[in-house]
């Protein structure tokens, strides 16, 4: 088992892993300012952006992204710094449909409350990441 698999399992990602593409999202705590990590289901787009979503409004990582949209994403074969944008309206609905299609094995019937698109940024910019 490699570092990614160990970390992912420690963070509770086994169920998410069954859905397909997953990664570890690194955020900065909205209240504490501490680095936080959580496994998330992802959809990688051809332009390099990534779609993620929270099924509940109270997800801490979602609040962290709203407070500090700079984040990291560590996935199999890739690692990077991203800028998160909370989507709304038709753009949100389309991205939620993308995520549902990609993760249908465990998310059938899910309602995505907060949907984000993560855009890659320059690696020299400080961001949250593995502690």
According to the model, what pLDDT value does residue 90 have?
94
Q: How do the pLDDT tens digits run along the chain, 131 residues long?
A: 555 555 555 544 454 455 457 788 999 999 999 999 988 888 888 888 888 887 666 788 999 999 999 999 988 756 799 999 999 999 988 988 887 777 655 455 556 788 899 999 975 444 444 44
CATH topology of domain 3-120: Pnp Oxidase; Chain A (2.30.110)
Q: Which residue bears the tokens 């490699």?
A: 2
Rounded to whole angstroms, what are the CA distances from 61 to 101, 105, 109?
A: 22, 23, 22
Contact 64, 85 (CB under 8 A): no
Q: What is the pTM of this model?
A: 0.74
Residue 56 has what pLDDT? Answer: 67
* Residues whose CB is less than 8 angstroms from the CB of residue 24 and which lie 6 or more positions away in sequence, other chains included: 4, 7, 8, 11, 13, 37, 38, 39, 40, 73, 74, 75, 130
Residue 1's pLDDT is what? 52
Q: How many helices (H) and strands (E) does the chain have?
A: 5, 7
Domain boundaries, the chain: 3-120
């Amino acid at each position: 088992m490699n570092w990614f698999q160990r970390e992912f399992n420690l963070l509770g990602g086994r169920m998410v892993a069954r859905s397909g593409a997953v990664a570890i999202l690194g955020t900065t705590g909205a209240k504490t300012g501490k680095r936080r990590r959580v496994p998330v289901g992802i959809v990688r787009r051809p332009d390099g952006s990534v779609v993620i979503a929270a099924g509940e409004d109270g997800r801490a990582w979602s609040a962290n992204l709203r407070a500090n949209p700079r984040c990291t994403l560590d996935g199999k074969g890739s690692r990077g710094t991203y800028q998160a944008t909370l989507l709304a309206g038709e753009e949100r609905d389309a991205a939620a449909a993308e995520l549902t299609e990609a993760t249908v094995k465990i998310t059938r019937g899910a309602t995505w409350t907060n949907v984000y698109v993560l855009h890659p940024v320059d690696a020299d910019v400080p961001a949250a990441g593995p502690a």
